[in-house]
Structure 1
Amino acid sequence: MPHSCSAWNCTNRFSSQTRSIGITFHRFPKDSHLRKRWETALRRKGFSASLSSMLCSEHFRPEDFDRTGQTVRIRTGAVPSVFRFPAHLHKHVFTRTSKTSKKAEETLSLDCSQLVQEAEPVSVATNDHSYALPSSNDDLRARLREALARVESLERERRNAKDREKRAKKTVSGLLEDLRMKKLINEDLKEQIDLYSGINK
């Protein structure tokens, strides 16, 4: 029987189908203090994780994962923070300290009430979907913080990709220069040099 995610109202199960769409499952930490923090984050009254209890990857931020190996792992000390709780389970959400996040939250505090009022006539959207507009200001702020965290993670990935590209071009340039010095360049390699002639420009 497949394991289910322990998060409130999450229907994801550990199966080949969820794996095929990139959802991974992770057992609760063995460390008692960290395991307690995971349990508290779920906000399920009376819940105590067992050895088989698991959470799916949809409840973690992108920066919570270690994808350097063949197996996707949760970074040490990471705590699940992405949930869609009902209104009565909402608590004060951790406030990010970056200038971008603070500015966005200040703007949100002025406009979120108007956004919620404008959204009331729309009855087809529900919180079961990621595109649904949250029903409260706290929900809206939480959704914004999640989006900002994803943007920051993607920005880091983009910068890392650019750095890797620069290193690769530098390596190719060095190899071509070595070939020139050793006079080992044939016609095919001359074409390659033409392709990479702009590497150091």
Structure 2
Amino acid sequence: MSVAASNKQKYNVRGSFRFQPTVFGSKEHCCVPLCSSSGRYNSRLSFHRFPKETSLRLCWLQKIRREGFTVTPHTKVCSRHFLENEVITTEKGRRILAAGSVPSLFEWNKYSRKTRAGVWERRCRPSNPEPDSADPIEDNEPPVMVPMVVDHDYGASRTVCVDREQYHSMLREIEQLKEQLRSCSLQKPFGLKRFSTSPEDIRFYTRFPSYEHLKAFWNLIEAATAKMVRVTRAKKTDVMSTTTETPFTRPTKLLPIDELFLFLSYLSTGCTQRELGHRFNIHRATVSRIIVTWANFLYCLLGSICVWMSPAAVSSSLPQDFDGRYSDTQVILDCTELRCQTPSSQNGPL
């Protein structure tokens, strides 16, 4: 015999160790997932059909956790999943289930059914043992009992022991945080409404003499802002959108009058777009789109207004010195001459 044949005969133990079927074995098996019980190798188990009652059958299907499972007359559940008092042995030795029995022991609950005491039947935890009288008495204050609710732990005590000094320090910290939050909420955001009562700030940020002058200018252009041509987020700068604005379709969170205030502040102070974004709490790209939008809007709106007087009005208001030779004068441009010192000779010493 060769070496390979001897090794094959040595390690081929499949035929030697095999489950032996019982004498009165059956072909029944359990349909519960993770359960490999079969009547062929275990005669001590009994297998039970699903009940005919619809509600009880649905309860069985819910307990064994099999969705979309079709129950047939050959579908059975072994007695391993029932309690001992639910499996009854008749006088003839036949094992049946008690009325209304439902399987409750499975692999996922480790074939155990722990009973939990009711909420009112539980006892509170024992109190802390009293300190030994032999120990020296410390001068520290006793801990204060603070009520505390623990979620989903009804058996726990309703009080916990904490240090009194730590408890009061936490209360002071909470009050400080509340005061900071209150001050932050009361602080007005950076906008026109914040400086409406300060003429100096209005002149600094907008170059208008006062808030009333700025409101008068806004009342003139407010109706036209509803159909403003806005620059969109598209990559091409020539892509714009024209929509009737409402509080729900406004492209930015700023009011239109605050957008005008941002544009005037940009012209008056020369702030960078990043700085304006921090002040108005918006993105720098949004600041850029607002500036370009309002520059185009005011150019088109104010550029269509004629600021020149008519020829008849100019002729009627001309001074007498302009009669005759300068009678057709329409505009007088006031120029200022500034003299600057220059070297007399370009080849001279520096």
Instruction: Flag whether TM exceeds 0.5 (same fold).
Output: no
Range class of TM-score, shorter chain: 0.3 to 0.5
What TM-score, normalized by structure 2, do the two folds share?
0.24
What TM-score, normalized by structure 1, do the two folds share?
0.40
By percentage of residues, which structure has more helix? 1
